[in-house]
Amino acid sequence: MHILLIGSGGREHAMAWKLAQSHEVSRISVAPGNPGMLHDAKITQVPLEVSDIDGLRNFALTQDVHLTVVGPEAPLVAGIVDDFSAHDLRIFGPHKAAARLEGSKAFAKDFMARNNIPTAAYDTFTELDAAQAFIEKHGAPIVIKADGLAAGKGVVVAQDKQEALTAVESMLGGQFGEASAQLVIEEFLAGEEASFIAVVSGRDCLALASSQDHKARDEGDTGPNTGGMGAYSPAPVVTDAVHTHVMKDIVQPTINALADEGMPFTGFLYVGLMIDKQGQARVVEYNVRLGDPETQPLMMRLQSDLLPLLDHAVDGSLPEASIEWREGSAIGIVMAAGEYPAGSSHGKPISGIEDAESGQCKVFHAGTRLVDQQLVTAGGRVLCVTATGDSLAQAKQRAELGAACIFWEGCRYRRDIGHRAL
Ligand code: AMP
Ligand code: GLY
């Protein structure tokens, strides 16, 4: 079977790598993909951008594609699933209406409020005066969020009032264009974060293993927020009791409410959680796709075939699917440009990946490019070095040995991924 996978990051490399292991899969076309994927004979890159819905649909229509799988959020929010469905093409991901859970934070908060799904208290704003008055009234710490997609940069956790006031002024002043014309301002939640991802098909769902990512750039979870500097699975904070509570009080009510409100969800539902000391979880954000970099360690741990899971979800037979995980842990350490997250690296030769992989690592590419057969940097997050182990400590040691083999001018990575679980 021929699979079309949309995206080009580390998440998509890990998904392609896993799908290629399926006996049912003969060919995977990744649009636009990255050169790391080409080591697998089943995988080819297709020069179509993730925003080119016409091009992607015409490819699927003419190339006998069995299933299209969407990696990133932007095409989902733009309505690629609605378009493909209108052409009777099988595609894994939510329709545009449900993708607003990620595409608009105000939509997501209002959805949670009317469906009693636990989350931080909030209000929404389009006017500076009202936003300033709200901050004056509630004080800090307080959290300011741009309503729309801002590549993970639209959230400011303000530790003092001045920082909050500066953030609302610049966001409402057009910092993220349309995406910050509306703001959500919400209560600061204390606790430990975890990523809880489920495969969803209408009112049915199957949880993936728990994971946790590190959003801050620097060690000790300090420095600016990024898309994610590393992740591991499982996340011990998600105990059996927390898992049961999250399924019962958050995931199932979310997908039931989506179905009740006429926007049934198919795809990966990612619930970003804040879990307090009593084990009570609240929703920090919804994403309508897999996490990056959570996917890289998750795919390393996933023992069963990925394709039947996606096929069952698309066909409405998810209760027939099952999922098996390897015991032990997996970790992914992101190697990023020194300039990241403010900037990125371009054209710097990368060395040492073969050495890293001759050990016990798998290196997933994100921001890389081939120029005259030389692999060079082409982005902010460049690689994700992953490894499994009997314990998180062992997985971490293996991944760090791998990362130490790899070099380009200006590369950086955190040496403390997983510290909360160690
Ligand atoms: P988001 O894009 O909504 O996930 O926010 C990015 C990051 O900001 C989250 O992963 C949290 O670390 C932090 N954050 C967001 N909302 C809150 C909140 N209400 N309280 C504390 N931290 C938050
Ligand atoms: N790692 C967080 C995200 O994918 O949104």
Residues spanned by the domain of 64: 2-93
We report the CATH number of the domain holding residue 178 as 3.30.1490.20
Give the residue among 388, 336, 408 at the shortest CA–CA distance from 366: 336
> How does 312-336 read in b/e, with b if 16+ C-beta sit within 10 Å?
bbbeeebeebebeeeeebbbbbbbb
272 lines ligand 1 (CB under 6 A): yes
Question: In angstroms, what is the span from residue 291 Cα to ligand 2's centroid?
Answer: 4
* CB of 294 shorter than 6 A to ligand 2: yes
In a domain, 107, yes or no: no
> Could you give the count of Cα atoms lying within 13 Å of 321 in the half-sphere of its Cβ?
25
What CA–CA distance (Å, rounded) separates 169 from 183? 11
DSSP tag of 219: T
Q: What is the CATH number of the domain that holds 33?
A: 3.40.50.20
- At 137 the pLDDT is 93
**What torsion, rounded to 10 degrees, do the Cα atoms 364, 398, 196, 367 define?**
-20
Q: Give which of 291, 294, 306, 207 is closest to 252, Cα–Cα.
A: 207
Sign of the CA dihedral running 299, 302, 308, 310: negative
Q: Are 179 and 150 in contact (CB under 8 A)?
A: yes
Residues 308 and 213 in one domain: yes
Regarding whether 316 and 201 lie in a shared domain, the answer is yes
Q: Amino acid identity of 193?
A: E
Contact 378, 346 (CB under 8 A): yes
Q: Which tokens in the block code for residue 44?
A: 């080819």
| Residue 116 belongs to a domain | no
- Give the pLDDT score at 152: 72
Same domain, 197 and 80: no
Contact 418, 360 (CB under 8 A): no
Given 272, 300, 320, which residue is the final one in a domain? 320
Task: Please give the distance, rounded to the nearest whole angstrom, from the Cα atom of residue 388 to the centre of ligand 1.
Answer: 28
CATH number of the domain encompassing residue 230: 3.30.470.20
Name the residue type at position 175: Q
146 and 84 within one domain: no
The Cα-based distances of 166 to 42, 150, 225, 239, 255 in angstroms read 50, 18, 17, 39, 36
Map residue 403 onto helix, strand or coil: helix
Q: So what's the pLDDT on residue 236?
A: 96
One domain for residues 270 and 381: no
How far apart are the CA of 2 and the centre of ligand 1, in A?
A: 38
Predicted confidence at residue 34, as pLDDT, reads 98
Element (H, E) at 64: none
Clarify whether residues 66 and 86 are in a common domain: yes
Provide the whole-model pTM: 0.96
Q: What is the structure's pLDDT at 110?
A: 97
| Residue bearing the CA closest to ligand 2, atom 3 | 291
List beta partners, residue 336. 381, 412
Mapping DSSP to helix (H, G, I), strand (E, B) and coil, where does residue 418 land?
coil
Same domain, 125 and 209: no
Q: What is the pLDDT of residue 105?
A: 96
Q: Is residue 278 part of a domain?
A: yes
- DSSP string computed for 21-47: T-TT--EEEEEE--GGGGGSTTEEE--
Amino acid at 275: I
Can you give the pLDDT at residue 150? Answer: 86
pLDDT at position 359, please? 83
Going through 87-178 in order, the beta strands assigned E by DSSP cover 91-92, 122-125, 142-146, 155-158
108 within domain boundaries: no
Number of domains observed in the structure of the chain = 4
Same domain, 201 and 312: yes
23 and 138 assigned to the same domain: no
Write down the pLDDT at residue 285: 96
Main-chain phi, psi angles of 184, to 5 degrees: -105, 130
Q: Are residues 222 and 290 in the same domain?
A: yes
311 close to 68: Cβ distance less than 8 angstroms: no
308 C-beta neighbours (distance < 10 Å), count:
16
With a 6 Å cutoff on the Cβ, whether 73 touches ligand 2 is no
**Which residue has 């703001």 as its token pair?**
183
| 370 and 272 co-located in one domain | no
Under 8 Å between Cβ of 368 and 34: yes
- Residue 148 burial by Cβ neighbours in a 10 Å radius (0-12, 13-18, 19+): buried
Position 143 in a domain: yes
Ligand 2 center to 2 CA (angstroms): 27
- Per-residue confidence in pLDDT tens, the chain, 422 aa: 999 999 999 999 999 999 999 999 999 999 999 999 999 999 999 999 999 999 999 999 999 999 999 999 999 999 999 999 999 999 999 999 999 999 999 999 999 999 999 999 999 999 999 999 999 999 999 999 999 988 777 899 999 999 999 999 999 999 999 999 999 999 999 999 999 999 999 999 999 999 999 999 999 999 988 889 999 999 999 999 999 999 999 999 999 999 999 999 999 999 999 999 999 999 999 999 999 999 999 999 999 999 999 999 999 999 999 999 999 999 999 999 999 999 999 999 999 999 999 988 999 999 999 999 999 999 999 999 999 999 999 999 999 999 999 999 999 999 999 998 98
| Listed residues 187, 216, 241: the one ending a domain | 187
Confirm whether 134 is domain-assigned.
Answer: yes
Mutate to test the pocket of ligand 1, among 104, 149, 157 (most ligand atoms within 8 A of CB): 157
Whether residue 422 is contained in a domain is answered as no
Cis before residue 32, ω within 30 degrees of 0?
Answer: yes
**101 is a domain residue:** no
- Ligand 2: distance of its center to the CA of 229 in Å? 10
Q: Amino acid identity of 93?
A: G
CA dihedral 35, 39, 41, 42 (to 10 degrees): -60
Question: Is the CB of 213 inside a 6 Å radius of any atom of ligand 2?
Answer: yes
Residue that is last in its domain, among 320, 339, 354: 320
In terms of domains, do 216 and 284 share one? yes
d(CA 84, CA 105): 25
